[in-house]
Amino acid sequence: MSEEIAVRLRTVREALGETHRSISLRLGMGPNTWRECEETGRLPKTEPLQKLNALGFSIDWLLTGRRAMKVGDVAEMPAPSPAPLDTPTLKAVLLAFIQFAQREPGILKADPGALLKWMMETYQLISAAPQEERDQRAAEITAAQDKGVA
């Protein structure tokens, strides 16, 4: 892990266009301290880390390698909310699976991960279909519910 931190420290220094000495002095450290940190993979003390953060570097990234290197980068932004669940499409997928399982009961012995993958792919396929086809499938679901199948 210290090797990974050493790489991230070097990346920060290079991104700032600094030498070991200049970044040490810029962050209020002894003239050789940054070099020692890079060589050992040891993090600087709190004050230099705070100064790096003020320069726009993510402390989370520096410590863990997760998220973006710079605060405010696109990768740092929260992920967009997932699309709302399309209930009629989900019903269509589940109905298709139930109907398939009724015809081929052995499918239930298949790997659960493979079954889930099939359901997800079917959901995406139906979701991508034109609205008219989705409406038709919803009508089939309603008819199946009326017959007690779904």
Q: Does the 2-76 domain belong in CATH 1.10.1500.10?
A: no
Q: Do the beta carbons of residue 52 and residue 37 sit within 8 Å?
A: no
Looking at residue 77, what is its pLDDT? 45
Looking at residue 111, what is its pLDDT? 82
Helix, strand, or coil (residue 71): coil
Reported as a single tens digit per residue, the pLDDT across 58-106 is 888 888 888 788 876 544 445 555 556 677 777 777 887 888 888 888 8
Looking at residue 120, what is its pLDDT? 79
- pTM value is 0.48
Looking at residue 6, what is its pLDDT? 92
- pLDDT bin (cut points 50, 70, 90) of residue 150 is very low
Q: Is a pLDDT exceeding 70 seen at residue 46?
A: yes
Domain segments of the chain as ranges: 2-76, 87-146
Q: How far apart are CA 112 and CA 90, in angstroms?
A: 18
